[in-house]
Structure 1
């Protein structure tokens, strides 16, 4: 019985390590689907709003546990990784400057539902952007 418990503990630890250490495929995550519109999805959220990428970039970089995966303001598109506090689940948010508008797509990597976390995060960033402007 002790071996089963130990084996289960090792499997859980290996799964958590994979979540935190798995490499991110830039070709997969640094991309936007066609037709970004304002919608909340089961696995993420999309927003299309007026705004400036440089201003939003500063706000996003100030977010705890968030790093840049690829791109830059100069490129006109940036993808960020934000990890959950306890288990380190990664969420990917790609932001592109399209004329006077920002196209934003936040989505989870693991699981089927993000429980509204990406929509709440993006909407919080946009509120800060409105307050700054």
Structure 2
């Protein structure tokens, strides 16, 4: 009986791991305006925007189109896939996956004019689970840091 229970538990774990990898991503659900989204109740996200205690939205001394193209190059070089939006609009949503289990994370950025430069607003969040062990924060901060290199 114990052997049967262990086999069933193993099958449930394998099915869950497989679901995480093959679950479809609905771009309409994840492609949003990071300036307007409510802060999630779980800690598996990172926001770059003005207000309510979030990390400040960075401002760059370059035109929005160039910033969007540069950001896109950095994100895709890091393994992200553009699933919604267009670089030409400066509003893009990317899918990334954790290395070991393949958990999907979504990062949406909005780039808009700010004086003579551009401002980047971003929202990185996990699809599954409660904690992402800081992965979304680290990824978005890494991409933003690469913009200044």
- Is 2:129 the partner of 1:111? yes
- Is 2:44 the partner of 1:30? no
| 1:11-53 alpha-carbon deviations (Å, 9 max, x no partner) | 01110011000001111101124457xxxx7121112212411
Measure how far apart 1:109 and its partner are. Answer: 0.6
CA RMSD, aligned part only? Answer: 1.6
Measure how far apart 1:61 and its partner are. Answer: 0.4
| 1:38-71 alpha-carbon deviations (Å, 9 max, x no partner) | xxx712111221241111110000013x211111
TM-score by length of 2: 0.78
> Which of these residues, 76, 91, 96, is aligned with residue 82 of structure 1?
96
Task: Tell which deviates more after alignment, 114-123 or 87-96.
Answer: 114-123
Measure how far apart 1:6 and its partner are. Answer: 1.1
- Unpaired runs of 5+ residues, structure 2, are 49-56, 61-66
Q: How many residues align?
A: 126
Give the equivalent residue in structure 2 for 1:55.
70
Measured in 1, the distance between the counterparts of 2:122 and 2:34 equals 10
Q: Is the 8 A contact 2:86 2:92 kept in 1?
A: yes
Larger Rg: 2
